[in-house]
Amino acid sequence: MKENKWKIATIILAVALIVSLVFLIKPSLKSSQKIGEDTINYINQNLLGDGTVATLEGVEKSEIIKGMYDVELGIQGQTFKSVVSGDGRYLFVDGPIDMSEGLSGEADQEDLPEMQQKESTEVEGGFKEITELDVCMENDKPIVYFFGSESCPHCAWEKPLITNVIAQFGETIDYRVRYDGSEDVDVLLKYGEGAVPTIIAGCKYYRIGSGESLGEEAEKEALTKVICRATGGVPASVCEG
């Protein structure tokens, strides 16, 4: 089913209003990265459910509110902004909303990257399966992309796991790692707004964000199942094991 950005934002905002838009987090002196990680952990553990997982997309000192941090998070392939106090104690979850887009969601849909506009369903590990697409091949092999950046801690966590999983498939896939470069950026931007890590398997399956919330073993299992979907269950020793 198509994702409804307004619905997600409304759910988060509704929960926030119950507690006056403020959540209490244990106070301490923290780095900006630690504040971002604690914020994502808090949101995943206390605000989201039904398998929905938020990922940390970025954190930086607010240029608008002195002493606060702007935290950018990804939920189901879409980006939301929250504000956290400088001591990491208070979380304000309702980031700015552009009311010019209207309440119908039509403008949201038109502004989404190409592949996010297509009907999809969720499969293993938070990956999306685009309903209308067939798996794309080159030399009879599905292409698997891993987009990342050396400055991205989530990419650093994900990279050894996907490398381990990919090794099992040998010559059955065409694996392409794209780090901090301009190569295949057009492919990346079809699925998102450039956020990393992004994994795309056979054009048909994709996920923006890492699988850190799943844990290493569950993430490797999810990656294996998704790539097996793209290969059509080949090799059997991996996909049927």
Which residues on neighbouring strands pair with residue 198, listed in sequence order? 147, 208
Domain span at residue 188 reads 113-239
Q: Are 35 and 12 found together in one domain?
A: yes
* Within a domain: 60: yes
**Phi and psi angles of residue 174, each rounded to the nearest 5 degrees, phi first:** -110, 100
Rounded CA separation 68/92 (Å)? 10
pLDDT at 40: 79
Tokens encoding 51 = 């398998």
Q: Are 79 and 10 found together in one domain?
A: yes
Domain termination site, one of 73, 99, 125: 99
The length of the chain is 241
Q: Are 185 and 232 found together in one domain?
A: yes
Which amino acid, residue 80? F
Q: Are 158 and 180 found together in one domain?
A: yes
Rounded CA separation 64/18 (Å)? 25
The three-class DSSP label of residue 130 is strand
Rounded CA separation 114/171 (Å)? 30
Q: Are 162 and 224 found together in one domain?
A: yes
Q: Are 170 and 218 found together in one domain?
A: yes
Domain termination site, one of 99, 132, 154: 99
**Looking at residue 128, which CATH number applies to its domain?**
3.40.30.10
Threshold 0.85, pTM exceeds: no
pLDDT at 110: 64
Tally of structural domains, the chain: 2
pLDDT tens digits, one per residue of 55-74:
888 888 877 666 788 888 88
- Going residue by residue through the chain, which has 241 residues, state the pLDDT in tens, using 9 for 90 and above: 444 444 444 444 443 333 333 333 333 446 778 887 888 788 878 777 666 788 888 888 877 666 788 888 887 777 777 788 777 777 776 544 444 444 444 445 667 899 999 999 999 999 999 999 999 999 999 999 999 998 889 999 999 999 999 999 999 999 999 998 779 999 999 999 888 999 999 999 999 999 999 999 999 999 999 999 999 999 999 999 6
